[in-house]
Structure 1
């Protein structure tokens, strides 16, 4: 190969946690939008940003790709 390391493609606890929280936020936001409940739609937007913050904090805590708390697995 060209010697470029694989960045991991998000295979980390931080990435998975972020994606799950954000997916739940979009799903409930869509349901509340369909049910015409604007306050709950905006609360799901807040949850979306909370997911982003949780991912950032987990990455800084060592749970991101190549973090100190994750074990690199060879395939």
Structure 2
């Protein structure tokens, strides 16, 4: 998980944009890099495990930002 989080953060995905609207070329680069750094991820057909982790990571960042925004009021 640490490797995937580091890759996603380095790619600077915009957490305000939902998964299916993220740039496909950036997603492709992240998936290839994740497979290269963590060969175990190559076992999952069509990178489904990596995609699900990234979706969850982005969603959690959006929810956290929303909570922080409401906490400032």
Superposition TM-score, scaled by structure 2 size? 0.39
Structure 1 or 2: more helix by fraction: 2
Compare CA radii of gyration and give the structure with the larger one: 1
